[in-house]
Structure 1
Amino acid sequence: MQLSPNTRQSLAGRLAYPLRQFAAYEPSSGILLVATAMAALAWANVEALPSYAGFWNTELAIRLGDWSLSLSVHDWIDDAVMTVFFLQISLEVKHEFARGSLSSWHTAVLPLAAAVGGMLVPVAIYLAFNAKGDAATGWAVPMATDVAFAIALLSLLGRRVPVGLRALLLALAVIDDIGTILVIALFYSSKIAAGPLLAAGGGLLLVWGMRSAGVRSFLPYWLAGAAIWLAMEKSGVHPTVAGVLLGLMTPLSVPRHRKGRSREAAARIPHLLRSQDTPNWRLKRELATAERGALAPLDILRYQLEPWVLYLIMPLFALANAGVELGAADLSADGNFRIFAGVALGLLVGKPLGILAFAWLAKQLVNASLPAGVSWPAMVGLGLLAGVGFTVALFLTSLAFPGQSAAVVARLGILAGSLAAAVIGLAILWWTLRVQSQPGSVRGDRTSTTDSNNHRNEELEA
């Protein structure tokens, strides 16, 4: 029996409807991350299931004649798939600094100070436990915030969350991502090979030339990006840096010629919609032309990559990295407990302590102010949510302890510290926001509950 195109489309729509509904729920990406992490833990610890380590250590090779590239499945995810993750991060970073909440000194100074404190203090706590020996290489593990988890957890508190609190958490996470990118590039790259690094530089010059020449299709850039990634992989610089550089090179403005074509296409669309004989392909082409002229390439990529990053790349990474074999985590072995304590306390204590201390210093030294509707007790809860260091912290663990048993203990510390930070942070924020929502209470430095709600409504209307 052969189904008609309309029937197939209707069936596909009905099957996809629950997925679209789930994706529309703001905490959905965090829920999916939790589910994949739990699946990874079960896979690694249930003997009846196939070997977790055996599967992810399976070698996959690409061969072209005498040339070949062979990596394990785990390394393909960490080195190749995560490059798209860091491309998305760099696009967000560029957007925030050019147009977003970090585009002016007045709005950036407090989250900048808080984020720096949120990176330095966890590192200091980790090194207080592990200043000597091989374990010191894991100093960067507790410095990273998982923005998807943190925002998903914050959204569980509903409409009572002030707009300023969410914006501050996003700004903190963006600056945190910049610090992570710099750490990976400077401290977790192996011995540098000049030839491949020069080839990567040539690829970046090619991308710049295509951009200057007005090349509009994304396909040539994806091909050039793949070549740059390959050169980075061979150079000793961690290949995810390729995604960061390409993201920062993505234009944030729309070329003039594209704006003109967009206006022309937009003017034709009403006529095409009124016509009964307009083929679907023609309407789709005009809509795509209008969209390309209305949005900058950076914005188009941000919107296109976000669902892939949230619902495929990050869950896949969690599945490949969160499978801690609990029986193999011997905390009594020499140095292992110090690694566990340094990571867990770095996230649970270091993050909120650093964020609060440096935010307070910014207020005292440069008269920075908290966003509207944000109080200091709420900052405690926000600092704890920033201590949920899941995805990027696991990524840093794989760089700091490649193939070592210490990585198992560090991952256990990430899971324990992040879980405790999430639970305590949510409890503090729930209580704080509940108190602040009562009539007559004061939020932040200046704003009452009613003023904060009005401020949020005005932003949403704008």
Structure 2
Amino acid sequence: MKVTKLFKDFFESERAGGFILIACTLISIYISNSVFQTEYLGFWEQKLGSHSITGWINDGLMTFLFLLVGLELEREIYLGELSNLKNALLPISGALGGMIFPAIIYGIFNWGTTTQSGIGIPMATDIAFALGILSLLGNRVPTSLKIFLTALAVIDDLGAIIVIAIFYTKTLVFTDLSIALSIFALLLMLNRLKVRNLIPYLIGGIFMWYFMLHSGVHATITGVLLAFSIPFGNGNEKSSSYILQHFLHRPVAFIILPLFALANTAIMFKSGGWNIFGELHSIGIFLGLVVGKPLGITLVSFILVVLGICKLPNDLNWKHILGAGFLGGIGFTISIFVTLLAFENEVFINQSKLTVLFASIISALIGLVWLHKSLNLK
């Protein structure tokens, strides 16, 4: 199976970024429970214009993460795993199963309660963490498994973005939304006119982000829209899409995601955070990620393969897919991101963050051990 240089760069940057993400999370949790707690929390809440520092990270810098996800998805559609429908249906079906089953499990425990808005929390997979854990297994991991997990996580994150846009938009300002979408249409027109210079797209993206921010729809959606407006061309190293994607890999993996972790994983154990399994939303999040993710990814993929709708790569078996399903239960970044949109109650937020972290660790450990055995690694 041919693997492009850009995919290798993507995998390598996400792998290293995953380890940095873990380190930043541990640092944030430690400081949040130390004598520097007040100063640490106060720093992130400092105002810079209309937003706090945390706000600029979540509404601004995270847009670049979704831009990168959009560019990677576009490349997968044109040249990668998603370019062939039968190949594409396997990670697509896995991603859908990995979103639906966790949502159902969460809904069973929380539907009709004050915490039902958290249904989107266990639906996402953290690309950086998942690929970081997979990389620990070394070179014996089949390339097709790396591609399957990457494609699944990218589609999964796109699904999370759609969920955010539809279910976590509280008020709509149609004037601003119309302007943002008009700018998007203009950028698509530039694409059709074969304008390859990135500058008009980036300037248009800034204005689109501004109006999207004020429309009520979460501004990070701009990243995906901008990605699909940027010319892909033939996808080679001189194409606009390739240049931007290559440029974004390291800033996203080594700056933006670590900043997100430092700003948003300030979990204070003394504020009731440990009482997670006495709360329905925590039970739903935990079971959604640890049980719902691998069950949904594996079962839906299996059904579609049995029906002949898609096929399993020759170098993979169902143990590998189940292992990838466990790694899919590493929610972290996007799950915490959705938590901040779903809840306003600080106790719910703190408990949910801790549950996401705990469930992600458990999923990572199970996936690592399972794949270690199924790949016969020594």
| TM-score (norm. length: structure 2) | 0.92
Distance 1:346 1:26 in 2: 24
Q: Does 1:418 align with 2:360?
A: yes
| Alignment match, 1:159 | 139
Q: Which of residues 184, 188, 195 in structure 1 aligns to 2:175?
A: 195
Deviation of 1:425 after TM superposition, in Å, equals: 0.9
Q: Deviations over 1:276-326 (max 9, x none)?
A: xxxxxxxxxxxxxxxx98521111111011111111111111111111111
Q: 1:348-387, aligned counterparts within 5 Å?
A: 348-366=290-308, 368-387=310-329
Where structure 2 has 5 or more consecutive residues not aligned to the other structure, the ranges are 1-10
Paired residues of 1:331 and 1:337 also in contact (CA < 8 A): no
Paired residues of 2:179 and 2:211 also in contact (CA < 8 A): yes
Q: Which of residues 243, 262, 287 in structure 2 aligns to 1:345?
A: 287
Q: 1:35-434, aligned counterparts within 5 Å?
A: 35-61=23-49, 70-253=50-233, 294-330=237-273, 332=275, 337-366=279-308, 368-402=310-344, 404-434=346-376
Deviation of 1:392 after TM superposition, in Å, equals: 0.9
Distance 1:117 1:407, change over 3 A: same
Distance 2:73 2:12 in 1: 24
Distance 1:251 1:215, change over 3 A: closer
Deviation of 1:49 after TM superposition, in Å, equals: 4.6
Distance 1:112 1:206, change over 3 A: closer
Distance 1:194 1:27 in 2: 40
Distance 1:422 1:296 in 2: 36
In our comparison, the structure showing a higher alpha carbon Rg is 1
Distance 2:114 2:35 in 1: 31
Distance 2:334 2:14 in 1: 20
RMSD: 2.2
Distance 1:294 1:49, change over 3 A: closer
One-letter amino acid matched to 1:139: I
Deviation of 1:249 after TM superposition, in Å, equals: 0.9
Paired residues of 1:144 and 1:393 also in contact (CA < 8 A): yes
One-letter amino acid matched to 1:134: T
Distance 1:26 1:121, change over 3 A: closer
Query: Using CA pairs below 8 Å that are at least 6 residues apart, which structure has the higher relative contact order?
Result: 2
The alignment of Structure 1 onto Structure 2 pairs a total of residues equal to 368
Give SS of 2:81's match: coil
Distance 1:430 1:234 in 2: 48
Distance 1:160 1:408 in 2: 38
Distance 1:115 1:293, change over 3 A: closer
Distance 1:233 1:54 in 2: 24
Distance 1:121 1:205 in 2: 35
| Alignment match, 2:16 | 28
Q: Deviations over 1:403-436 (max 9, x none)?
A: 532111111110110000101110111111117x
One-letter amino acid matched to 1:338: L
Give SS of 1:405's match: helix
Percent identity of paired positions between Structure 1 and Structure 2: 38
Paired residues of 1:26 and 1:155 also in contact (CA < 8 A): no
Give SS of 2:51's match: strand
Paired residues of 1:336 and 1:409 also in contact (CA < 8 A): no
Distance 1:322 1:224, change over 3 A: same
Distance 1:385 1:202, change over 3 A: same
Distance 1:25 1:314, change over 3 A: closer
Distance 1:24 1:141 in 2: 27
Deviation of 1:372 after TM superposition, in Å, equals: 2.3
Paired residues of 2:14 and 2:128 also in contact (CA < 8 A): no
One-letter amino acid matched to 1:28: A
Q: Deviations over 1:46-81 (max 9, x none)?
A: 1245433322221110xxxxxxxx011111111111
Q: Deviations over 1:188-246 (max 9, x none)?
A: 11211122112212322332344455544323322221111111111111111111111
Paired residues of 2:109 and 2:280 also in contact (CA < 8 A): yes
Distance 1:394 1:201 in 2: 27
| TM-score (norm. length: structure 1) | 0.75
Distance 1:24 1:173, change over 3 A: closer
One-letter amino acid matched to 1:380: L
Distance 2:273 2:29 in 1: 16
Distance 1:369 1:293 in 2: 28
One-letter amino acid matched to 1:51: E
Distance 1:144 1:430, change over 3 A: same
| Alignment match, 1:448 | none
Distance 1:199 1:143, change over 3 A: same
Where structure 1 has 5 or more consecutive residues not aligned to the other structure, the ranges are 1-22, 62-69, 255-291, 438-462
